[in-house]
Amino acid sequence: MPEFLTNIFGKTIIVHIIMGAVPLLFILPYALVVIYVEMKLSSHMQNRVGYMRTGWHGTLQPFADIFKLLQKENIVPAEADKILFSLAPFIVFIGMYAAYAVLPFGSGYVGSEMEIGIFYLLAVSSLVVVGILMAGWSSNNKWSLLGAMRSVAQIVSYEIPAALALLGVVMLAGTMNTEMLSAMQSGGMHEWFIFGGTLPLWKKFTIIPFMFIIFLVYLVSSMAEVNRTPFDLPEAESELVQGYNTEYSGMKFAIFYLAEYGNLFLISAIAVIVFFGGYTSPFGKFLSGGVWDVFWFITKGMLLVLINIWIRWTLPRLRVDQLMYVSWKVLTPFALVGIIVIGFILVV
Amino acid sequence: MFLQLFDIIFYFFATVTLISAGIVVFSKNIVRSAFSLVFTFFGIAGLYVLLNADFVAVAQLFVYVGGILVLLLFAVMLTQKISNLQMKITTLHPIIAIILVASLIGVLCGIVRMNDWRIITISEIPQSTAQSIGKALITTHILPFEIISVILLVAIIGAAMLARKSEKKS
């Protein structure tokens, strides 16, 4: 794809800009679809119908919502720190979007094939943390600040089990390059890292339970990192109004919203790359290559997003002490044990 | 073409780093200083990337932005009334300050002048930085690596002890 674009435009800089904009073309329609699916699914889970009036079964509702947000007045609280207040949503969005640089959507489209892809993913997401703190503090609102504090404390503590879980797979694969990780699992479903990759048979069977453990650790902690419902203490409506984005309205609120959904796909995509074969087809050579790669990547990612939505509307919110208990006394020890055992199995 | 682009990116990161570092020092609002530090770290990470040191750049983001800066912001925000406090940014002891700054600049300039800078070509840069760093850490530099890990463990246990004590009193 880059060569083909270079032939058209001649200059590499233009190609880089175009390549950088491609994930945005995915995120915008994806967010519209997922917002609709989430609302509709949650309504049916709660025995109601949800959107019905705009378009067939409310399919035009997300568009209506977008237009509503675009038209809204952009309010900045009088006592807020105006510069930081305006900057915060963009910092959050940049932190989310920068991570898309290393997502291999297909063998033909990889933004950056850097050697340290997984490490980079973990590092740039810290920009989101800074953005949330900035939003909470600059709003000059106690609820916002408390929400931001909770959110950051939560993300920082759940980063540890998430990183440890990813480390287990990195040990198995021997690389942090996201493109390589995907390509290593191209043999079909049985070669996915969650099923032990391409190890010899007996090693595979001993490693599978531990791969499942670290996958569950990753799933739970990634859910906490995007502040979604079992872990939505940062925006607990009954306690904190809306959390760090209470004071935001119009476009700035929309950007927070978009960043949240972008992050949701991001964590699912990382799980797909690391555990479920990335862009490769689950049937080996069958239906693989070209557009099929992109199809498989997005399908797998969307399935995990669906699981996230399903869990969100099933479980109630945790208490703060339970939140810390889950992170430090359950997930972290399990991930550590998983890593040690995987290391032993690999060395033996 | 390539050189021009490289230069533009370099000057971009350099200006971001310098301006934000200036805000860190001269801003009267401590929280703004702390937030401005994000851009300083980000600019330095960008400069590392330009030097083909991708691992160092990402480690910079991971450790400084993700760890130290968040901790710093927490400390600043949890300290009550600090957002209304106007920081003093005037010089208190000009003579001592001048001596210290002058000696620091002298040492830095001395290092820059005396160091035997080696210019390497792109082909000499190792392809996989992470792998060679990992190998070096557990072979040649195993002792410092272990000492650092023990020190960090001590720090963690100490922090946990301090937190526990205050809980008992209240």
Which of the two residues, A333 and B2, has the higher pLDDT score?
A: A333
Residues on A contacting B at a C-beta cutoff of 8 Å: 11, 13, 81, 83-84, 91, 114-116, 119-120, 122-127, 129-130, 133-134, 137, 145, 149, 152, 156, 159, 176
Structure tokens at A15: 């190609």
Inside any domain, residue B87: yes
Q: For residue range A93-134, what is the model confidence (pLDDT) as tens digits? A: 988 888 888 888 877 667 777 778 888 888 888 888 888 888
Cβ-based contacts of A126 with chain B (< 8 Å) = 61-62, 65-67, 70
B73–A119 C-beta distance less than 8 A:
no
Helix (H, G, I), strand (E, B) or coil at A69: helix
Residue A347: the pLDDT is: 83
B55–A126 C-beta distance less than 8 A:
no
Inside any domain, residue B152: yes
Residue B116's CATH number: 1.20.120.1200
**Mean pLDDT in residue range B162-168:** 68
Residue A5: the pLDDT is: 64
Any idea which residue has 């950051």 for tokens? A152
B58–A152 C-beta distance less than 8 A:
no
pLDDT band at B19 (very low <50, low <70, confident <90, very high): very high
**A133: nearest CB among B32, B61, B73:** B73
**Mean pLDDT in residue range A299-325:** 86
**Mean pLDDT in residue range A21-26:** 82
Q: Is the pTM of this model over 0.90?
A: no
State which residues form the domain around B26: 2-163
Crossing angle for the helix pair A12-45 and A61-71, to the nearest 10 degrees: 120
**Mean pLDDT in residue range B67-77:** 81
The 10 Å Cβ neighbour count of residue A193 is 26
What are the CA-CA distances from residue A165 to residues A13, A220, A339 (Å)? 37, 11, 7
Any idea which residue has 């690391």 for tokens? A274
Q: Could you give the CA distance from residue B123 to residue B87 in angstroms, rounded to a whole number?
A: 50
Residue B85: the pLDDT is: 61
Inside any domain, residue B129: yes
Contact B32, B85 (CB under 8 A): no
Inside any domain, residue B77: yes
pLDDT band at A191 (very low <50, low <70, confident <90, very high): confident
Nearest residue on chain A to B57, judged by CA atoms? A120
Specify which of A10-24, B22-36, B100-114 reaches the highest per-range mean pLDDT.
B100-114
- Name the burial class of residue A29, with classes exposed (0-12), middle (13-18) and buried (19+) by CB atoms within 10 angstroms of its CB: exposed
Residue B167: the pLDDT is: 56
Number of domains in chain B: 1
Residue A1: the pLDDT is: 53
Inside any domain, residue B168: no
What are the CA-CA distances from residue A281 to residues A2, A273, A289, B163 (Å)? 23, 12, 8, 50
Q: B83 pLDDT exceeds 70? A: no
Residue B107: the pLDDT is: 94
- High-pLDDT (> 70) share of chain B, %: 83
Q: Report the residue count for chain B.
A: 170
Contact A218, A255 (CB under 8 A): no
Inside any domain, residue B170: no
A13–B35 C-beta distance less than 8 A:
no
Helix (H, G, I), strand (E, B) or coil at A104: strand
Contact A297, A272 (CB under 8 A): yes
Nearest residue on chain B to A128, judged by CA atoms? B66
Residue A297: the pLDDT is: 85
Inside any domain, residue B169: no
Cβ-based contacts of B38 with chain A (< 8 Å) = 91, 127, 130
pLDDT band at B76 (very low <50, low <70, confident <90, very high): confident
Inside any domain, residue B130: yes
